Amino acid sequence: MKMKWNSENFRGDVLVTRNGEVLYEYAGGFADLPNEVPNTADTRFASASAGKVFVAVGILQLVEAGRLRLDDTIGKLLPFEWNAIDPEVTVRHLLNHTSGVPDYFDESVMEEYEELWTDFPNYKIRHNRDLLPLFIDKPMMYPKGEKFQYNNSGYVLLALIIEAGTGLEFDQYLKANVFDVCGMESTGYFELDRLPAKCAFNYIYCPETGGYRTNIFSVDAKGTGAGGAFITVGDVARFWKALSENRLLSKEMTEQMLQKQSGTGEDAEEGWYGYGVWLIDHPEGRDFAYFQGCDPGVSFISEYNPNNGMISVAVSNYCNDVWEVMRNIRRELY
């Protein structure tokens, strides 16, 4: 199937399926720009905050296994000195971004993620605990449960809860209990200075030179609970398929994950928030679910339409406008 959107300048991968049938696929641009190695269908791309959805699934699995509860508190689950952070913040608050814990990347204060590394070297961020100095001594942003505000620190704490409850690094747990279950053989959390084969470099345009630089000094050296998984578009489709078939969670817990848990819905395109996913209101059917991510040199979005079994994935290693791609997919194929 052809789409009318202008793909000439899009650098990355796009995949659209319906009930397992491929409706549209595209790969363009270079995974390695100087050597002109092209992006392909099996290129591994960084996905920024998209990885929060995997952490949410991991937490909900532990809830279903009886190893923790949604109303357990961080004071009970993690052995930290909380200082000005409320130890009564719950797992549920963290999952739905209503915790109020200090966000180490507060987008209302900082415009660019790489501003974090002005005084703190990014190469030190290789585990969730490495991010604690960036927020553990700061005050609460607002009282727990008061409102929705997207929060990266909350998902770092959720990953630490997975580690405390299982004795495994969070990415080891996710590989065994999420990625392997879905058949996501190419997905993982990789260190930028030890990337495996088929990983795309991520490029940032530099107006002063008219060229590109990689983002190796702009993002965490390895992904954390806040994001940073490397994925392929095919693996993301496999994740949605496994989630919708209740192979990761029970039917009841999957429905809870994909229900509106927080947010206001004031922005119709952004929508509401469930657990690890955004939700777009569908007044005549089941809500659309999506997850997304954006870092320097990285842009990603993937959406599941439960009304017709359609899965859409768009990712760019040049931070191209994946959101416009998704708008076109909705307009032409929904």
Query: 95 pLDDT exceeds 80?
Result: yes
The domain spanning residue 258 has which CATH number?
3.40.710.10
SS (H, E, C) the chain: CCCCCCCCCCCEEEEEEECCEEEEEEEECEEECCCCEECCCCCEEECHHHHHHHHHHHHHHHHHCCCCCCCCEHHHHCCCCCCCCCCCCEHHHHHCCCCCCCCCCCCCCCCCHHHHHHCCCHHHCCCHHHHHHHCCCCCCCCCCCCCCCCCHHHHHHHHHHHHHHHCCCHHHHHHHHHHHHHCCCCCECCCCCCCCCCECCCEEEECCCCEEEECCCCCCCCCECCECCEECHHHHHHHHHHHHCCCCCCHHHHHHHCCCCECCCCCCCCCEECCCCEEECCCCCCCEEEEEEEECCEEEEEEEECCCCEEEEEEECCCCCHHHHHHHHHHHHC
Query: 6 pLDDT exceeds 70?
Result: no
The model's pLDDT over 176-226, given as tens digits with 9 standing for 90+, comes to 999 999 999 999 999 999 999 999 999 999 999 999 999 999 999 999 999
Task: Kindly state whether residue 279 falls inside one of the protein's structural domains.
Answer: yes
Residue 25: its pLDDT value, please? 95
Residue 139: its pLDDT value, please? 96
Task: Kindly state whether residue 4 falls inside one of the protein's structural domains.
Answer: no
Task: Kindly state whether residue 5 falls inside one of the protein's structural domains.
Answer: no
Task: Kindly state whether residue 254 falls inside one of the protein's structural domains.
Answer: yes
How many structural domains comprise the chain?
1
Identify the CA nearest to 155 among candidates 235, 86, 89, 81. Answer: 89
d(CA 113, CA 299): 13
Using the CB atoms, write b or e for 40-78: b if 16+ within 10 Å: eeebbbbbbbbbbbbbbbbbbbbbeeeebebebbbeebb
Residue 1: its pLDDT value, please? 60
Question: Percent of the chain beyond pLDDT 90?
Answer: 90
Query: 42 pLDDT exceeds 90?
Result: yes
Average pLDDT over every residue of 119-137: 94
Task: Kindly state whether residue 39 falls inside one of the protein's structural domains.
Answer: no
Residue 287: its pLDDT value, please? 93
- What are the CA-CA distances from residue 170 to residues 56, 69, 190, 258 (Å)? 11, 18, 13, 22
Residue 285: its pLDDT value, please? 87
Q: Could you list the residue range(s) of the whole structural domain that residue 285 is in?
A: 12-28+51-333
The model's pLDDT over 277-327, given as tens digits with 9 standing for 90+, comes to 999 998 788 999 999 999 999 999 999 999 999 999 999 999 999 999 999
Query: 74 pLDDT exceeds 90?
Result: yes
CB distance 113 to 299 below 8 Å:
no
- What are the CA-CA distances from residue 177 to residues 35, 167, 236, 312, 323 (Å)? 36, 14, 15, 23, 30
Specify the pTM: 0.96
